[in-house]
Amino acid sequence: MEVALVTDSASCLPPGAEGALTVVPLHVVVAGRRGDSREVGHAEVVEALRSAGPRAGVSTSRVSPGEFAEAYRELVARTGCRAVVSVHLSGGVSGTVEAARLAAAEVADEVDVRVVDSRSVGMALGWAAQDAAALAAQGGDLEQVEELVHRRLAGARAWFYVDTLEHLRRGGRLGRSQAVLGSALSIKPLLTVVEGEVVLAERVRTRGKALARLETLVEEAVGQMRETGGRPRLAVHELDAQDAATALADRLAQRLDVDPVVLPVDPSLGVHTGPGTLGVVVADAG
């Protein structure tokens, strides 16, 4: 294989779905213990956040450039690839992509690594990486594979409902003014990702109205995608809200004639969104 694909665990790919992909796990710290997001699971993060309050004793740390360099070298040794496309969580919310760029410079004499800032989260980058890996396995060259990644990411949209903005604010992922606005008068925040940054999309007074508005935004995005010849696919993400996520997916399936996949957010993302998170990613299958 000429080209190999790397992403990080913020892609929220389910176990066993990586295929030809290499997934580098992000790191979570709970009560001083640091582990990757495969070692520190969803239940532990939820328990820590619920018992200790917003982010108390719970944090994240980025993947080091050395870990990425090791992953790139291992790929070369294992596959014989001559190039790597490395697509990652938005640089607007994490230093992960910058660490990948530093690693790419370190191994530049050994392999050509193209680092892509997805400017998104969840299955928006998961699907982009999966599709690109499939193209690479079919013999696609570096330019074709990298172009497909950008094409898949271009039309992706993501919205997230969270019970409180406090986790995001304390983690520095959302400006204090937006956190204050979102928390005022018991308003329930609906978030989106704009130009790679998490922003407050809507302020709704109840959880039910927030989820109804979320469904409307998804319906509009799906309609716009279909109008331009796209083939929309949906992922419903959750943390400690599996029943609600399944119900949301069922409603979207009936409303939009799609079959959403339901996946938990990676623990490294859940630290910042908190228990009760529900999100939807809309992406074009091409």
Domain ranges of the chain: 3-26+62-154, 157-284
* Structural domain 3-26+62-154, CATH architecture: 3-Layer(aba) Sandwich (3.40)
What pLDDT, on a 0 to 100 scale, did the predictor assign at position 146? Answer: 98
Share of the chain above pLDDT 70, in %: 89
Gap between the Cα atoms of 32 and 40, Å rounded: 12
Residues of the chain predicted below pLDDT 70: 17-19, 52-56, 166-186
The CATH class that applies to domain 157-284 reads alpha beta
Enter the pTM of the model.
0.89
Gap between the Cα atoms of 21 and 97, Å rounded: 17
Gap between the Cα atoms of 214 and 134, Å rounded: 31
Gap between the Cα atoms of 85 and 149, Å rounded: 9
Gap between the Cα atoms of 132 and 136, Å rounded: 6
What pLDDT, on a 0 to 100 scale, did the predictor assign at position 26? Answer: 93
CA nearest 93: which of 149, 15, 160, 41?
A: 160
**What are the percentages of helix, strand and coil residues in the chain, rounded to 5?**
45, 25, 30
Give 174's DSSP letter.
S
The residues facing 12 across adjacent strands are none
What pLDDT, on a 0 to 100 scale, did the predictor assign at position 170? Answer: 63
CA nearest 279: which of 244, 246, 227, 238?
A: 238
